[in-house]
Amino acid sequence: MSAPRKTKTPQGDQAEGAFKTTSSTIIFTELLELIKPQLLVGKDVRLIDFLPEQRPVVIGVMAQLRDELPIRSGWQTVRESHLSETRLRARRYSIDGAFLIGGEDHV
């Protein structure tokens, strides 16, 4: 009697390789080290300022930073056309000036 064969399904292959992403961890860490100091000095971080392929990682970075810092988010109009009645808006993240070192408001 032979031992039962284990067959791999496509979902199993995908699940096994899901945690072998060292390059995405490096990208996440680099973006975290880029974004956090900008927020701490009072600058706004807009999602539209990053490359389209980086935006999902930036959203993940912002989710982690929102657990650590008092980050607020909102929408900022980037471009508007009254003729065609269209508006381009971008997600914007910032820290209120009262929470920054020195407590100054930023503009």
Q: Would residue 7 count as lying in a domain?
A: no
Q: For every one of its 107 residues, what pLDDT tens digit does the chain have, with 9 covering 90 and above?
A: 566 565 555 555 545 555 455 677 888 889 999 999 999 988 999 999 999 999 999 999 999 999 999 999 999 999 999 999 999 999 999 998 888 766 555 44
Q: Would residue 61 count as lying in a domain?
A: yes
CA 32 to chain centre: 9
Residue 70 to residue 100: CA distance in whole angstroms: 10
Q: Where are the alpha helices (DSSP H) in the chain?
A: 10-17, 22-40, 55-68
Q: Would residue 104 count as lying in a domain?
A: no
Q: Would residue 1 count as lying in a domain?
A: no
Residue range of the domain that includes 41 = 22-99
Q: Would residue 55 count as lying in a domain?
A: yes
Name the 3-class secondary structure at 69.
coil
So what's the pLDDT on residue 83? 92
Is this prediction's pTM over 0.95? no
Q: Would residue 46 count as lying in a domain?
A: yes
Question: What token pair was written down for 2?
Answer: 């032979």
Question: What token pair was written down for 64?
Answer: 């982690």
Q: Would residue 39 count as lying in a domain?
A: yes
